[in-house]
Structure 1
């Protein structure tokens, strides 16, 4: 199978984070009491979610990398994957939310939507097609029970 993406998910996260920084420079920001602590808590939640998902995938001896989903050896549907089909991408979203909170720019919330739109339309859609071909009815049943994000 050919490579799915022209820009892999970590690159998308870095690109959106850079755009957020530019938006903050051009638009100014807001500050609120505890802003840094809230951002750090959201960051920690995102990192914990990503680590839990990566640990579960590694424990199942299947790929963590999104570039070739057809190389997945097991369909993981337990643990955090019972709540989200894409917990690593959800973790990425939390990292970007933490960055938006840290920067204090309301305009950056629009860029979170851009991240979700890109991931749904490009990355996740391609992964879902590959996983449906690989795991068939088991994957389709999983999709019917578990949401993409939360």
Structure 2
């Protein structure tokens, strides 16, 4: 993997997500004057978290049923291109689920600043995880992968 640079594929996405969630909490506490406290928004936050967990679970479930790796740090270990189930709608359901969980967390925290950090998470994951995975999958699966990315969006 000589084309990988810096942080690409080195930090497990779950660590990135948990770090982002921690920064969101700290940002919400530090900028309380920019916060809101609305019960309906907090409830919507819980629904986002639940939706995110379902999306993550479905992504893992489909990978396991196809007996391919779920370790995002080793996309070269993938045994086949998975395009069924939730992968018909998004190429990255596990990252999408993480972003949904973080969005729900930001809504629950009631912080505009915390919600901005979800964009930071998505940008980081795209740059240091998804783009690297895509390069590798393109080289491994060729035209089949190019057809897939033409038909299915990266996030949603």
Q: Offset at 1:74?
A: 1.1
CA distance in 1, matches of 2:58, 2:10: 27
User: Which residue pairs with 2:29 in the alignment?
Assistant: 25
Q: Offset at 1:52?
A: 0.7
User: Which residue pairs with 2:125 in the alignment?
Assistant: 119
Task: Verify: 1:105 aligned to 2:111, yes or no.
Answer: yes
1:13-52 correspondence to structure 2 within 5 Å: 13-28=17-32, 29-52=35-58
Task: Verify: 1:148 aligned to 2:154, yes or no.
Answer: yes
TM-score by length of 2: 0.91
CA distance in 2, matches of 1:80, 1:142: 13
Q: Offset at 1:116?
A: 1.1
For the Cα contact (< 8 Å) 2:42–2:109, is it kept in 1?
no
Paired residues in the alignment total 150
CA distance in 1, matches of 2:43, 2:118: 20
CA-atom RMSD, angstroms?
Answer: 1.4
Tell me the alpha carbon deviations over residues 18-66 of structure 1, each in whole angstroms, 9 at most, x when there is no partner.
1101101111121113233212111110001111110000000001110
CA distance in 2, matches of 1:49, 1:65: 16
Structure 1 unaligned runs (5+)?
none
Structure 2 unaligned runs (5+)?
none
CA distance in 2, matches of 1:33, 1:40: 11
For the Cα contact (< 8 Å) 2:107–2:115, is it kept in 1?
no
User: Which residue pairs with 1:9 in the alignment?
Assistant: 13
TM-score by length of 1: 0.95
Find runs of 4+ consecutive structure 1 residues off by over 6 angstroms. Answer: none
CA distance in 1, matches of 2:11, 2:70: 17
